[in-house]
Amino acid sequence: MPDLPIDVFSWPTPNGHKVHIMLEECGLPYALHPVNIGAGDQFAPAFLAISPNNKIPAITDPAGPDGAPISLFESGAILLYLASKTGRFLPASDRARFDVLQWLMFQVGGVGPMLGQAHHFRLYAAEKLPYAIERYSNEARRLYGVIERRLAASPFIAGEDYTIADMAIFPWLRNWANQGIVLGEFPHLEAWFNAISERPAVQRAPRLMAELRKPVRDPKEREVLFGKTQYLKR
């Protein structure tokens, strides 16, 4: 009996692409369900039932642990789950696995939130606040510097092998120009970025739902993404 597909509730954003890349790398069967975050799909009760933080991505695997279905939210947790399910892209030894985990946490706690703020204040904020733009642009450059120093000593983020740490960080760096970054100032990172970009799975993943995502121009969409709709009691 063929494996049932994993249901993937997502949108073409860096956090969504982290999971899209992993699914493509592993060749797992999956069914993609767009969650239009500009239209407010993330607040639908059915989605909140599997993603109580109303963020994409989320998954439901009908063949979860012990053969029972499982639903998961948070992209880092999903990467770890898929690595565990397939036995791929996460080392078995404690030492190597913790090397991967620390860099995955670096992305989850630093790269994603801080580059997200850089994007917001540089591109989306209705009022251009010099303090916020400078603060988060500087933090973006600092994080790129951390990655550059790491890749000067290692071919991949967590060591000698390509892992979920690379998959987690890569999508957040695709829009480096919008973050105020000159990629050529980080030569080791640039070489790694170009090598990752050539992987077939990495090339396929960003094309998923790409035609659905449009620039944020509509005031209602902006309000859904950044305004009081985020904070309504549900």
Mean pLDDT of the residues in the chain: 94
pLDDT for 1: 38
Can you tell me the mean pLDDT for 57-75? 96
pTM: 0.95
- pLDDT (tens digit per residue) in 82-99: 999 999 999 999 999 999
Type of residue at 115: L
Of 136, 205, 207, 139, which is closest to residue 168 (Cα–Cα)? Answer: 205
Cβ atoms of residues 179 and 111 within 8 Å? no
pLDDT beyond 90 at 46: yes
User: What's residue 113's pLDDT?
Assistant: 97
Nearest to 57 by CA among 106, 109, 4, 21: 21
Kindly tell me if the per-residue pLDDT of 224 is higher than 70: yes
Tell me the residue type at 97.
R
Do 96 and 45 meet the contact criterion of CB atoms below 8 Å apart?
no
pLDDT band, residue 2 (cuts 50/70/90):
low
Confidence of residue 215 (pLDDT cuts 50, 70, 90): confident
From start to end of 43-187, where are the E strands? 58-61, 70-73
Burial of 161 (C-beta count, 10 Å sphere; 0-12/13-18/19+): middle
Structure confidence at residue 225 as a pLDDT band (50, 70, 90): confident
- The most confident of the ranges 129-133, 209-213, 215-219 is 129-133
Half-sphere exposure of 27 (CA within 13 A, CB side): 3
**What is the mean pLDDT of the segment spanning 159-178?**
97
Of the candidates 138, 143, 82, 148, the residue with the CA atom closest to the CA atom of residue 108: 143
The structure tokens 């121009």 sit at 217
Mean pLDDT along residues 144-170 = 98
Mean pLDDT in residue range 197-208: 96
Structure-token match 């949108």, residue found: 11
Crossing angle of the two packed helices 130-153 and 112-119, in degrees rounded to 10: 140
Percent of the chain with pLDDT over 70: 98
